[in-house]
Structure 1
Amino acid sequence: MTAFAVLIACSAFFVATEFSIVKVRTTKIDQLIAEGNTKAIKAKKVISSLDEYLSACQLGITITSLGLGWLGAETIAMVLKPIFDLIAVDASVMTVVSYIVSFSIVTFVHVVVGELAPKTLAIQKAEAVAIHTAPVLILFHNVMYPFIKILNSSANGLAALFGIRGANDSEVAMTEEELRIILSDSLKGGEINQSEYKYVDNIFDFDDRTAKEVMVPRTEIVGIDKELTLKEVFDLMGVEQYTRYPVIDGDKDHVLGLVNMKHLLTAYIRNPEVNGIKPITSFMRPVIRVFETSPISDLLLKIQRERIHMAILMDEYGGTSGLVTIEDIIEEIVGDIRDEFDADEVPEVRIIGENHYIVDAKMLLENVNDILNITIEDDDIDTIGGWFMTQNFDAKEGEKVVNQGYEFIVKELDGHHLIYLEIMKEPLPIIETTATVAQQA
């Protein structure tokens, strides 16, 4: 019985070890090592050579299974023999029954105690099991290395015939979708909060955004004419209350540079009489210029490198299509940033009621699709306002377009510049019953 118990324990050890080193996350082991857990170093060694140590586990499981098959049935049969002797069963019948009962008991104990229970433990406590079993597994691997090498080489050679590489050569990097699933599970499990999930999820979308999708469009740019003096600029700034302004020469297609209100105020305070009458070009700084199709990740790096927090976007004809500030880019990750001058700023989406919204016409189509759970697609248009104009270019306030069960109504318009759209669920048609028709007749 002692040998039988030892073999069951060995089987449980190798099964638990195998599942733990497959289940454990490398990043978790790296974290434990960084925290000073010296036991995790050997676990790192094991999972870094997964192919070798999985072969060691399989060899251990095979040896213990053979041992149980050899000793287990005979051991249980010896235990049961006194019972069968008391019953006075015929010898030939006793041999068959004893074999069947012994085999059943050995199989049950082996499967439950030697495999299923350790497997469940290893899956639930992968890090702990991997750390505690790694030293013994490494020792077993070193002792049985020649056999493991032969078996592993043979297995890899056979797998190579089917174009399959060893475990050590396989890719371990996770895809973006896999990381999103992990984040979602972490949110559900309470490991991260909603804000953390939102920030990381926005970062995944960050590289897919272009400057055109986050820009302030040309029609909304507030520029300063190069002929204005510093005193005249302050009058304009008092109305608009922005921090930075582009300096233009005649029209918005000719942007010369930018000015920062902080620098202007400093210059004015130092010498109001002299600096107050200087042209604004005396205080102008360079501005970044990029194509409107530039990825915002590249634009952010350019802004950081050149330390200029405003970029003018150009279209394919060299004209100005809009501008982007560093705040516009950061808001793609953290959401809207509102300061003391944004008290009257209207949210991009206003919820009026169930399936009833007022949205900024600059809102991206994909964001509208997410909110309404619909699919509006246009390869040439980015915003919901742009899409509406393709459906009804000469729209007036109050006019609507119906699409996929929703009414898109012009809420506010400035010339041909669409500012806000009201979106609501299309009302269900009224079906007149036979009784109603009869009454009307």
Structure 2
Amino acid sequence: MDTHTDLWLAASIVVMSLLLSAFFAGAETAFTAASRARMLSLEDSGDLRARVVNRILASRERFIGAMLIGYNIVAIGASAFTTSVLTTIFGKSGVLYATGVMSVLVIVFAEVLPKTLAINKPDQAALVMARPVAFAVALLGPAAIAIEKVVRLMLRPFGISIGQHQSILSPTEEIRGQVALLHREGGVAKAERDMLGGLLDLHELSVSEVMVHRTKMRTINADLPSEEIVREVLSSPYTRMPLWRGTSENIIGVLHAKDLLRALDAAGGDASGLKVEALALETWFVPDTTSLRDQLKAFLTKKTHFALVVDEYGEVMGLVTLEDILEEIVGDIADEHDVAVSGVRPQGDGSVNADGSVAIRDLNRAMDWNLPDEEATTIAGLVIHEARAIPDTGTAFNFHGFRFQVLRKAKNRITALRITPLVPMIAKKDEIEG
């Protein structure tokens, strides 16, 4: 009778140990795979279980150590009691039976099954197991810390340092990778991906990369008669116009169309008596190395939308507006007064005809390409950088997976190019030859 009772007790311990093994294995998988963003959101909305999950994950090393210790203790216990039960029944051959039986039970019921269930719905599993896991971590955490210290001491003579779990990727790169993955899986549309990518890029881009170059700036000579200045402002698609005197680089102020129209209305429509220079706003100069993120904050702080960009010598390089920065996030912003010239013209054969002045980032966004923009801002600049020369009309180059052919050139400027992806060309050639 005692032997029969002992067998049932040992079998019960084995079953309980397997259940605990499944709990520890599933908890480790669920908590590791759970979304930190979702848990933080649930905690902010008042979910107490999510708060427990976040508190546990804040000490990830202690949590993992506790789960491993718990799993190994109960797994070893289950194996020991199973061996005891089967040797009592079958004698010495029971050791072999115990090995086979426990291998199947542990692999199926204590490893594969709980981890599969947990990985399918990690957030829900983590919330359900939050309080039991918190109890287990509180119970086994001190042992995990002690074991970790012993391991550190054992590895120190070999020059191996543990506990430094800083990610190789920066948080920005990790977010960018997650967004790209969601886009490939269909969870994020291309426009949304581009907006998020543009937002993450603000600290990496400078105002010199998005500014309107001084050769394309629309400015007004302050010495012109006031009537002519009014006509210039009314014919311009822009509301803010830099005023210059003497030379175009000598900017003395910025004229706002609304201020001019108010003054014109106060003068009864007579522009001859207007003192335009007195209406001009003070010019705001910013260094060309200013990041877009800093410039955006500066625009919001100063409550203005317009600044002139200068180089290290104080020479005017161009102008930047709030709209220029916003377009880096949301894409091109067009209104009824904008000149609809994109400079990108897709062709029927898969190639693209582009103006040399088109920004690489704009082309990448429009065509969903990934041309590098670290060494050059425009397509023409990229070709010149790669060719190490200013190529002649008709010259073609292959680099970065594309074929670049110069279509037009004006003096030392490349004004038009044809860009053709090489991969579709190769695939088409193979299809014809096949």
TM-score by length of 2: 0.81
Deviation larger for 3-12 or 169-178: 169-178
> Hey, what does 2:239 align to over in structure 1?
243
2:165 to 170, 178, 185: 170
> Hey, what does 1:12 align to over in structure 2?
22
2:408 to 410, 413, 417: 410
> Hey, what does 2:6 align to over in structure 1?
none
2:398 equivalent to 1:400: no
Does the C-alpha gap of structure 1 residues 425 and 335 become closer, same or farther in structure 2, counting only changes over 3 Å?
closer
Give the Cα separation in 2 of the matches to 1:290 and 1:199: 25
Deviations 1:152-199 (A, max 9, x none): 432344455544343xx6336854332222111222344333222111
8 Å CA contact 2:344, 2:363 repeated in 1: no
2:359 equivalent to 1:349: no
Give the Cα separation in 2 of the matches to 1:137 and 1:356: 58
Structure 1, unpaired ranges of 5+: 82-93, 429-441
Give the secondary structure class of the aligned counterpart of 1:251: coil
Give the Cα separation in 2 of the matches to 1:50 and 1:7: 24
8 Å CA contact 1:258, 1:287 repeated in 2: yes
Deviation larger for 3-12 or 68-77: 68-77
How do residues 268-347 of structure 1 correspond to structure 2 at under 5 angstroms?
268-273=264-269, 277-342=273-338, 344-347=339-342
TM-score by length of 1: 0.80
Give the Cα separation in 2 of the matches to 1:194 and 1:373: 12
2:72 to 50, 62, 68: 62
Give the secondary structure class of the aligned counterpart of 1:252: coil
> Hey, what does 1:201 align to over in structure 2?
197
Give the Cα separation in 2 of the matches to 1:31 and 1:207: 26
2:357 equivalent to 1:362: yes
8 Å CA contact 2:353, 2:416 repeated in 1: yes
1:50 to 51, 60, 63: 60
Give the Cα separation in 2 of the matches to 1:372 and 1:403: 21
Deviations 1:274-316 (A, max 9, x none): 6652131021001211233433333333333323322222345
8 Å CA contact 1:7, 1:68 repeated in 2: yes
Give the secondary structure class of the aligned counterpart of 1:324: strand
8 Å CA contact 2:43, 2:51 repeated in 1: yes
2:433 equivalent to 1:423: no
How do residues 382-393 of structure 1 correspond to structure 2 at under 5 angstroms?
382-386=377-381, 391-392=389-390
Give the Cα separation in 2 of the matches to 1:417 and 1:324: 26
How far apart are residue 143 of structure 1 and its match?
Answer: 4.1
> Hey, what does 2:45 align to over in structure 1?
35
Give the Cα separation in 2 of the matches to 1:174 and 1:307: 32
8 Å CA contact 2:70, 2:140 repeated in 1: no
- When Rg is computed on C-alpha atoms for both structures, the one with the higher figure is 1
Give the Cα separation in 2 of the matches to 1:378 and 1:60: 51
Partner AA of 2:349 in structure 1: E
Give the secondary structure class of the aligned counterpart of 2:347: strand
Partner AA of 1:155 in structure 2: V
Give the secondary structure class of the aligned counterpart of 1:61: helix
Q: Provide the aligned length of Structure 1 versus Structure 2.
A: 403
Deviations 1:351-374 (A, max 9, x none): 123243232322235766896979
2:116 equivalent to 1:120: yes
How do residues 90-101 of structure 1 correspond to structure 2 at under 5 angstroms?
95=91, 97-101=93-97
Give the secondary structure class of the aligned counterpart of 2:204: coil
Does the C-alpha gap of structure 1 residues 193 and 159 become closer, same or farther in structure 2, counting only changes over 3 Å?
farther
State the identity %: 22
Alignment root-mean-square deviation, CA: 3.3
> Hey, what does 1:437 align to over in structure 2?
none
